[in-house]
Structure 1
Amino acid sequence: MDHFDHQSGHFLEIDGASLYYEVVGQETGPALVLLHGGFGDMEDFNVLVPDLARRFRVIGVDSRGHGKSTLGGAPLTYERLQGDVERLVGQLGLDRYDILGFSDGGIVAYRMAARDSSAIRRLVTVGAHWELREDDPVREILSKVTAESWRAKFPSTYDSYQRLNPEPDFDAFAGAVVRMWLDAGPSGYPGDAVEKISCRSLIARGEDDHLASRDQISESARRIRGATALTIPGAGHAAFQDQPALFLRSLSEFLE
């Protein structure tokens, strides 16, 4: 199998939610965990997975509430998503692994990599904030998102959610995601904790990303010791989808 299909995976029960995951690629290859963005699911990475599966044991997971994973009754936070992924990698017995996180998935990856006991060997983020200050204009953009506005602007992601989710309630799900985005407490963005990240790191953004500014990504690279900042020309927020060949080339060089 060289792609995610939402048919060949498994569920892991965690704190009142069923977490869906799939493993594709080389069984004995180095592990690479992929974490998608808000309102997305693991299939968002299928533009990359066939290439990555030639070398890696690729693990895809639908974040709590997304795709085939249920939301559960507890508040949705980056801290909770972090705990979910850490439980999953423990279940899979991954002593060392690489991680690629997009947007919300990148924020979770930052939190994971900042832990003293982190088993992450190499970290790649795309369009991911390490903090969201109160005066950041992106906060206002995110605060205006509603279930209705998302359905109207991104109908394909809504259709995927309705098709995949075992317990669909898009209004409740959308509200939970927006509250997570706006969380300014310790369960939210990692903030200064990114300075504790010691693994090799590649911090990427699309040239035209309206959510993750060039200054934000540059600051991330400055705060993370030895990190490399990467700008993907001709790409927006989902840079790996907009320019998959360019992104894969840079990613392959970094993961060599």
Structure 2
Amino acid sequence: MPTIKRYGDTALPALVLLHGFLGSKEDWQACLPTLSQYFHCICIDLPGHGENEQILPTPGFEALADTITHQVINLGYPQFHLLGYSLGGRVALHIAKFHPAALLSLMLESAHLGLCSTRDKQTRLKHDQKWAEKLASKPLRTFLSEWYQQPVFAELNNDAREQLINIRSKNNPQALLHCFQSTSLGLQDNGQKVLKQLHCPRYLLVGENDNKFSNLAEKWQQKIDLSVITIPHSGHNTHKAQPKMFAASVIQLLYP
């Protein structure tokens, strides 16, 4: 079962927060003093991260969506707001697909909606396999150093990158590998179809300096009804770069 930490009055509406690849439930700490005044915040470790040792099947999205949804419902929240960053957002899309009635709203932060063509999916699987081989064969710190050199993390300076590497080095590389392979973007369902059929409010938050996802957001908006919110002075990880602004945006959207 996903490991959980909870913050805020249990009588408040529930907000489930799902971190990104290499992260943990602790990643939301800077946002929680504000968010927990308005929501009962439920922060969850994804499989292979933090304290969660669950091994997923491949592909693992449906099993993970079921596990998280049932866990939250068993806490006493048959409906909840859902917020996911990057990988967590891609997991959130599958919760929206398989358990749409459970969602009060869906908020995606820098999350890919999925690839549409079989060719693109196969290309991505090959790309991810190369990263999987690096994760399996190299020391974790070496893998992390290469991972955080990707263009999507260009906003990180050397100190911030080194700090992240130190934190992420505490993970179990074998557990990370299982999660990475079972949740590849090449295995993900088409999130555009999911959003078209979803009746609750849905939002996409992107960083002002995240060129890749800003461009993707523009393309997605041409195809589906999706509210896009740009967080100033931030890159891919907006809740880390601008936690107060990020939290204020979430509250403004869900408490208009």
Q: TM-score, normalised by structure 1?
A: 0.77
The structure in which a higher percent of residues are helix is 2
Aligned equivalent of 2:7: 24
In the TM superposition, what is the alpha-carbon distance from 1:121 to its structure 2 partner?
0.7
Choose the corresponding residue for 1:159, options 169, 178, 192: 169
Q: Which has the higher contact order (CA 8 A, sep 6+)?
A: 2
CA RMSD of aligned residues (A): 2.6
Task: Give the partner amino acid of 2:63.
Answer: R
- Give me the whole-angstrom Cα distance separating, in 1, the residues matched to 2:75 and 2:219: 34
**8 Å Cα contact 2:55/2:178 also seen in 1:** no
- Give me the whole-angstrom Cα distance separating, in 2, the residues matched to 1:142 and 1:71: 21
Deviations 1:72-107 (A, max 9, x none): 363462222212211212211212211111001111
**8 Å Cα contact 1:197/1:224 also seen in 2:** no
Choose the corresponding residue for 1:180, options 175, 182, 198: 182
Task: Give the partner amino acid of 2:199.
Answer: S
**8 Å Cα contact 1:100/1:124 also seen in 2:** yes
What is the 5 A alignment of 1:47-62?
47-62=30-45
Deviations 1:105-151 (A, max 9, x none): 11111222234642111111100011135549x94765543323433
- Give me the whole-angstrom Cα distance separating, in 2, the residues matched to 1:157 and 1:143: 24
Structure 2 vs 1, CA of residues 117 and 103 (structure 1 numbering), >3 Å: closer, same or farther?
Answer: closer
What is the 5 A alignment of 1:34-183?
34-72=17-55, 74-75=57-58, 77-115=60-98, 117-132=100-115, 134-135=119-120, 139=124, 142-145=128-131, 146-147=134-135, 148=138, 149-152=142-145, 153=148, 154-161=164-171, 168=172, 170=173, 172-182=174-184
Q: Which moved more, 1:25-34 or 1:189-198?
A: 189-198
Structure 2 vs 1, CA of residues 158 and 245 (structure 1 numbering), >3 Å: closer, same or farther?
Answer: closer
Task: Give the partner amino acid of 1:176.
Answer: H
In the TM superposition, what is the alpha-carbon distance from 1:228 to its structure 2 partner?
0.9
Task: Give the partner amino acid of 1:47.
Answer: A
Aligned equivalent of 2:191: 190
* SS state at 1:184 partner: helix
**8 Å Cα contact 2:15/2:42 also seen in 1:** yes
Q: Unmatched 5+ residue regions in structure 2?
A: 149-163
* SS state at 1:213 partner: helix
**8 Å Cα contact 1:42/1:60 also seen in 2:** yes
Aligned equivalent of 1:249: 248
* SS state at 2:29 partner: helix
**8 Å Cα contact 1:111/1:194 also seen in 2:** no
Q: Unmatched 5+ residue regions in structure 1?
A: 1-11, 13-18, 162-167
- Give me the whole-angstrom Cα distance separating, in 2, the residues matched to 1:214 and 1:183: 18
Q: TM-score, normalised by structure 2?
A: 0.77
Q: Which moved more, 1:94-103 or 1:106-115?
A: 106-115
* SS state at 2:68 partner: helix
Aligned equivalent of 1:206: 207
- Give me the whole-angstrom Cα distance separating, in 2, the residues matched to 1:228 and 1:190: 15
In the TM superposition, what is the alpha-carbon distance from 1:248 to its structure 2 partner?
2.1
Structure 2 vs 1, CA of residues 217 and 177 (structure 1 numbering), >3 Å: closer, same or farther?
Answer: farther
**8 Å Cα contact 2:106/2:202 also seen in 1:** yes
